[in-house]
Structure 1
Amino acid sequence: MAPPSKLAVLSSSVIRLVKEEASYHKELEQQQARIQKLETDTADENAEYQLKQERQALEETKNVLPALGEKIKDAVAKLEDELANKEAAPTDEITKAKEAIASAKAAIRESA
């Protein structure tokens, strides 16, 4: 089995980064829901500590997103360069690369 081409590796990298960003956004929503639940449920004696921990986790998740956005932009730029320089790449790799670029650009627009 032949090793994957540079185009395939870069496409996979962009796809992985987009999925990672989506999972961070999902985690962010879950953390916000937990915080909201803790704010309304004051009967628990440990609620204040848990609320502090959840807010700290929320801030850490928020801090990861800008750096991840930059990684996605860099990976997309590398993939676009590689795609422009490829003359004889298999059609399926070119299609996968274009789809990866489109999904990454959509993710960047959503997070902006």
Structure 2
Amino acid sequence: MAPPSQISISTSAVTRLVKEEASYHKELVSQESRLEKLLKSEDGDENKEYQVKQEKTAIEETRAVFPPLRQRIADAVQKLEDQVEAGGATDEEAAKAKEAIKAAKDATAEEKK
């Protein structure tokens, strides 16, 4: 079996990064939900203040992941676009690459809204 081509590897990288960003968004929503639930609870738990602080820290850390991740996505998309322009890919590889580029651009466009 022949090794995967560079365009195939780059396409997989873009796809993986887009999935990774989506995963972080789901995690952020989950963390914010837990924090909101914790803040609304009427429990007189002595650990509540500590738990709130921990959740806020986790949310900040998750939010800090997005700027470098978006930069990595942009770099990977640029590299893939350059490879598609250079040619040498099969029609199937080029189609998959274009789908991955579109998915990445759609995902980053949603975040800017």
- TM norm. shorter chain > 0.5: yes
**1:20-40 CA-partner distances (Å, limit 9, x unpaired):** 000000000000000000001
CA-CA distance at 1:96 after TM superposition: 0.6
> Which residue pairs with 1:105 in the alignment?
105
Conserved? CA contact 1:7–1:82, under 8 Å? yes
Provide the rounded CA distance (Å) in 2 between the counterparts of 1:8 and 1:111.
26
> Which residue pairs with 1:56 in the alignment?
57
Conserved? CA contact 1:35–1:55, under 8 Å? yes
Residue segments in structure 2 that go unaligned for 5+ positions in a row:
none
CA-CA distance at 1:42 after TM superposition: 3.5
CA-CA distance at 1:81 after TM superposition: 0.2
Q: Answer yes or no: is 1:66 the counterpart of 2:81.
A: no
Q: TM-score, normalised by structure 2?
A: 0.95
CA-CA distance at 1:80 after TM superposition: 0.1
Residue segments in structure 1 that go unaligned for 5+ positions in a row:
none
Provide the rounded CA distance (Å) in 2 between the counterparts of 1:4 and 1:15.
15
Q: What is the letter of the counterpart of residue 25 of structure 2?
A: H
Query: Which of structure 1's runs of 4+ aligned residues deviate more than 3 A?
Result: none
Q: Answer yes or no: is 1:6 the counterpart of 2:10.
A: no
**1:46-82 CA-partner distances (Å, limit 9, x unpaired):** 1111110000000000011011001000000000000
Q: What is the letter of the counterpart of residue 73 of structure 1?
A: A
Provide the rounded CA distance (Å) in 1 between the counterparts of 2:62 and 2:4.
33
> Which residue pairs with 1:96 in the alignment?
96
Provide the rounded CA distance (Å) in 1 between the counterparts of 2:29 and 2:82.
34
CA-CA distance at 1:45 after TM superposition: 2.3
> Which residue pairs with 2:78 in the alignment?
77
